[in-house]
Structure 1
Amino acid sequence: MYLTQGLHRMLQQNPDALATVFRERRHTYAQLAARVARLAGALQQLGMHTGDRVGMLGLNSDRFLEYYLATWWAGGVVNPVNIRWSVAEIVYSLDDCDTRILLIDDTFLPMAEAIAASAKVRPLLIHVGDGPAPAGMLGYEQLIHEAVPVDDAFRGADDLASILYTGGTTGRPKGVMQSHMNLWSAAVARAADVPVPADALSLHIAPMFHLAALSRVILIALVGLPSYFVPAFDAVDVMRTIARERITDILIVPTMLQALIMHPEFSRHDLSCLRDLTYGASPIAVPLLELALKALPQVRFTQGYGMTEAAPPISANGPENHGPEGIANGRLRSAGRPGLGVTVRIVDEHDNEVPCGTVGEVVVRGPNIMLGYWNKPEETAPALRGGWMHTGDGAYMDTDGFIYIVDRFKDMIVSGGENVYSGEVESAIASHPAVAACAVIGIPCAQWGEAVHAVIVLKPDTLARDADIIEHCRRQIAGYKTPKTVEFRATLPLSGAGKVLKRDLREPFWGGKDRGVS
């Protein structure tokens, strides 16, 4: 139960099989293994010890997979950096888990010095590119070329494998700790539940710092199939790559699917090779699905529901519910049924299981559930109380075990596939000198599923415009977290205990809908 096992297996059984494709670069499993062993040796030579964290800030590529495998091969822990974060957010994540080696690609070189200069301990920077390394940085390819390969450390089971930062309810991101067992079991259970065809060609589109993308690339490497990469989502680039490489499988979010099938060039590309499309982060709107079924009639659609803390799979809604029958009987709206190795209950506020059809909180247990939050025992304990991961999602389950998400008990917004925790946004807004109080909610958005909306009470005798608030936030937090709309009020609705009643704030926007989330 170690994450480099697939590499060893392919090296033994089929070393000449294709492993990675990125643009013109193609590597076999033998070549991949050699590069991984050398990069692992370089990391150790640079001072990485067992359990040390190594970060990467970059777009998708074959080198991102090499970084993952080499860090584990060397005995380390990966800390992939959210590419949409501000410098301050990136530095916080590096400082929080003491990440002292950071790989950074050409796209993010302009941020490199600001990150290094702001960190508590200046990280060693490795330039992941084809050209010469900038001054003060080491070259990725030169390190691999000059390093002596090392043996696999064979870290596995409950050894820490990754720390992925997700939003914080109190204004700071939390480092989700996943073990080799967590990530390995999630991938293997997925492969057993929905077998990967032996001729599958998977294109990795979703950003690889996300656990959904990491989980997919782990699965493909474990079963020994080729992984294809595009740097980021660009509709034309994705369609060209699918057509050129005859891709059969992709993982995307509904906004990406919409951008593909609505693109003016869609009909110019031969996508008949595509067989399986998995989407996640949010449900799919029926009109969008109907368009997609017409545009891609040969494709099997599957929705995945999960979270970073669950590595990430909780349940899946398969192709059988993504057609006319699923639309008619309402199963399309379901998040599906729990997969192999995952146990799900719907519970009340006292953690008692509720009857079928009754709304409660989704709680999950299984070998995929995280070890906890890095250095945050006070947040780990309630999240994992009683041995169950408390998701904060409100849902009910029908008599056949299908889960229907209807609300979110924790203050989280999902916008374009990205999780936004209102506590982070509220902290940024509250630092504006004119703000006396604020609350952040998610409101319906046709393009992104949900949009970030701020409700603000100003201090007496002060003035601020919505543009002022938005620009103030943009300087502190990532653009996708910044409020899209701002509303000023004299007061906020409060409970008897003085807590802001966010459901009251959300009601005008979500009233009349069958669920309070998109």
Structure 2
Amino acid sequence: MYLTQGLRRSIQQTPEATASVFQGRRRTFAELGDRVARLAGALRGLGVQPGDRVGMLALNSDRYLEYYLGTYWAGGAVNPINTRWSVAEIAYSIDDCQTALMLVDDNFTGMVDELRRRCPGLRAVVHVGDGAAPDGMLGYEALLAEARPVDDALRSGEDLAGVFYTGGTTGSPKGVMLSHRNLFTNSMAVVAEGAVARGCVGLHAAPMFHLADGCFMNAMLASGGCHVIVPRFEPTAVMEAIQNERVEEVLLVPTMIQMVVDHPDIGRFRLGSLRNMLYGASPISEGLLDRAMKALPAAGFTQLYGMTELSPMATILTQEMHREAGRQLGRHRSGGRAAMGCEVRIVDALGQEVAQGEVGEIAVRGPGVMMGYWNKPAETASAVRDGWMFTGDGGRMDADGYVYVVDRIKDMIVTGGENVYSAEVESVVATHPGVAACAVIGVPNDQWGELVHVVVVRKPGAALEGQALIDHCRERIASYKCPREVSFVDAMPLSGAGKILKTQLRAPFWAGRERKVA
């Protein structure tokens, strides 16, 4: 079980088939294989040893695909960096998992000097842009041209494949350690469930640093698919790519789907090649599903539910359940049923399975369950018990095994497909001198699913206003984590133990809704 297996098979079986398409560059599997082997040689020449972390801070490109495969081929482990993070958050992830080498594109070269100042262990930075490498950086294409291709290290099984950072429940991001076995078996399940067809043409429009797209990428590699890539999600660019490359599959979050199907120019594009729209982060609303099925009549819809700690897929909702028969049963509001290789159950606070239809915590067991959180044994022990990953999502299961997410036990918000942990935002809000107490909650929003909302008690005499607090946060954390709304109260509702009762703060915003999450 090793993540270069799909590439090796395609090199053997379909060497002249198109492997990647990006901004006019088209490469075959034979060409991709040569570049991956050369990149691996370059990485080893720069001191990468088995298991060493290699970071990448860049928008989507064909070189991002090469980065994943080249790092695995060299024997290293990836640290794909969230491009929306602040310098402080990026530096934390680099230092935390001891990333000594990083690839950076033109969009982020301006951060390099500050990252080097903050991260003394960062030995080398490789520029992956098309122009000349800035001073102090190594040129990607020059490295590949000079490097000799090396044999695949064939790291596999329980060998570390990557450290994938998620938001922190205690104020700092957590590095999720995933093995080759974790990611390989998950990709096999995606293919086995029919979510990615053999040899399909797939579009990478969601960020490639995110494991949702990584899951799609690994499944496409396993099935010998062609990777069409756009730098970032933008509705027109997505529709142009589908039309021009006859794209058959794409993975988006519901917010992105909405932006495509409601775009005023959608009628100008030929999108009939699209056969499968995969999505995650939240169920699709009935209204959006109606509009999407009308706008994309040839496409089916497939939902994947999971989390980074599960590599990431745990359940799948098939295309059939989005159509009329499934919708009549309300199945389109579920996250689907356990995927192949996964077991899912709903448990109470003691970890015991609850009765059918009762609400409890969703727990998952299988080969995709993470190795653990990097250097956080206590948090690992809390999350993984007896082989079961306790997701922090509250849900129920029906008689046919369909899982419905109804609430979050973890203090997490999902906005535009990104996970935001309340504690991480609260730790920043609380540093403002005008804040006496604060609580961050998720509130419903039609476009983004949920918005980050902060409730604040001002310090006596403070003249703090909402925009000033938002600006304070934007200087310290990624913009998507920052509060979009601020409300001020005289006092927080407290439990007998003095804990802020967030359920009371959230209640007015979610009144009249069956689900307490978007």
Same fold flag (TM > 0.5): yes
**Equivalent position amino acid for 1:182 in 2:** N
Q: 1:5 to 1:326 in 2, by over 3 A?
A: same
In the alignment, which residue of structure 2 is the partner of 1:144?
Answer: 144
In the alignment, which residue of structure 1 is the partner of 2:251?
Answer: 251
Q: Within 5 Å, which residues of 2 pair with 1:338-357?
A: 338-357=338-357
In the alignment, which residue of structure 2 is the partner of 1:83?
Answer: 83
In the alignment, which residue of structure 1 is the partner of 2:466?
Answer: 466
In the alignment, which residue of structure 1 is the partner of 2:386?
Answer: 386
> Bigger CA drift: 461-470 or 316-325?
316-325
Q: Secondary structure at the match of 2:100?
A: strand
Residue 95 of structure 2 is aligned to residue 103 of structure 1: no
Q: Distance in 2 between matches of 1:112 and 1:164?
A: 21
Preserved CA contact (<8 Å) 2:55 2:103:
yes
* Partner deviation per Cα, 1:38-59 (whole Å, 9 max, x = no partner): 1111111111111110000011
**Equivalent position amino acid for 1:27 in 2:** R
Shift in Å, 1:197: 3.1
Q: Distance in 1 between matches of 2:331 and 2:198?
A: 29
Shift in Å, 1:387: 1.6
* Partner deviation per Cα, 1:205-248 (whole Å, 9 max, x = no partner): 11011101011111111222211101100111110111011111
* Partner deviation per Cα, 1:436-457 (whole Å, 9 max, x = no partner): 1111000001110000000111
Q: Distance in 2 between matches of 1:147 and 1:21?
A: 24
Shift in Å, 1:199: 4.6
Q: Distance in 2 between matches of 1:243 and 1:462?
A: 56
Preserved CA contact (<8 Å) 2:195 2:278:
no
In the alignment, which residue of structure 2 is the partner of 1:417?
Answer: 417
Q: Distance in 2 between matches of 1:248 and 1:14?
A: 19
Q: Distance in 2 between matches of 1:91 and 1:195?
A: 36
Q: Distance in 2 between matches of 1:173 and 1:372?
A: 14
Shift in Å, 1:184: 0.1
Q: Secondary structure at the match of 1:512?
A: coil
Q: Distance in 2 between matches of 1:95 and 1:46?
A: 18
Aligned length: 518
Preserved CA contact (<8 Å) 2:416 2:450:
yes
Q: 1:186 to 1:463 in 2, by over 3 A?
A: same
Q: Secondary structure at the match of 1:443?
A: strand
**Equivalent position amino acid for 1:186 in 2:** N
Q: Within 5 Å, which residues of 2 pair with 1:209-288?
A: 209-288=209-288
Shift in Å, 1:103: 0.2
Q: Distance in 2 between matches of 1:199 and 1:125?
A: 35
**Equivalent position amino acid for 2:154 in 1:** F
**Equivalent position amino acid for 1:217 in 2:** M
Q: Distance in 2 between matches of 1:499 and 1:193?
A: 44
In the alignment, which residue of structure 2 is the partner of 1:55?
Answer: 55
Q: Distance in 2 between matches of 1:332 and 1:221?
A: 29
**Equivalent position amino acid for 1:75 in 2:** G
Q: Distance in 2 between matches of 1:298 and 1:34?
A: 37
Q: Distance in 1 between matches of 2:344 and 2:460?
A: 49
Preserved CA contact (<8 Å) 2:196 2:249:
no
Residue 326 of structure 2 is aligned to residue 326 of structure 1: yes
Q: Secondary structure at the match of 1:26?
A: strand
Q: Distance in 2 between matches of 1:68 and 1:26?
A: 18
Q: Distance in 1 between matches of 2:387 and 2:460?
A: 47
Q: Give me the TM-score of the superposition, normalised by structure 1.
A: 0.99
Q: Distance in 2 between matches of 1:36 and 1:234?
A: 28
**Equivalent position amino acid for 1:487 in 2:** S
**Equivalent position amino acid for 1:126 in 2:** V
* Partner deviation per Cα, 1:436-490 (whole Å, 9 max, x = no partner): 1111000001110000000111222222000111000000000000000001111
Q: Give me the TM-score of the superposition, normalised by structure 2.
A: 0.99
Q: Secondary structure at the match of 1:85?
A: coil
Shift in Å, 1:325: 2.8
Q: Distance in 1 between matches of 2:265 and 2:107?
A: 27
Shift in Å, 1:329: 2.1
RMSD between superposed Cα atoms in Å: 1.0
Q: Distance in 1 between matches of 2:357 and 2:323?
A: 24
Q: Within 5 Å, which residues of 2 pair with 1:113-128?
A: 113-128=113-128
**Equivalent position amino acid for 1:484 in 2:** R
**Equivalent position amino acid for 1:170 in 2:** T
Shift in Å, 1:195: 5.9
Q: Distance in 2 between matches of 1:157 and 1:341?
A: 16
Shift in Å, 1:111: 1.6
Q: Distance in 2 between matches of 1:129 and 1:459?
A: 48
In the alignment, which residue of structure 2 is the partner of 1:64?
Answer: 64
Q: Secondary structure at the match of 2:515?
A: coil
Q: Secondary structure at the match of 2:386?
A: helix
Q: Secondary structure at the match of 1:55?
A: strand
Shift in Å, 1:340: 0.3
In the alignment, which residue of structure 2 is the partner of 1:493?
Answer: 493
* Partner deviation per Cα, 1:333-376 (whole Å, 9 max, x = no partner): 11100110000010000001001100000000100110000000
Shift in Å, 1:386: 2.2
Shift in Å, 1:172: 0.1
In the alignment, which residue of structure 1 is the partner of 2:21?
Answer: 21
Residue 428 of structure 2 is aligned to residue 428 of structure 1: yes
Shift in Å, 1:114: 1.7
Q: Distance in 2 between matches of 1:377 and 1:392?
A: 18
Q: Secondary structure at the match of 1:240?
A: helix
Q: Distance in 1 between matches of 2:261 and 2:347?
A: 39
Q: Secondary structure at the match of 1:31?
A: helix
**Equivalent position amino acid for 2:397 in 1:** M
Residue 170 of structure 2 is aligned to residue 176 of structure 1: no
Residue 439 of structure 2 is aligned to residue 450 of structure 1: no
Shift in Å, 1:9: 1.4
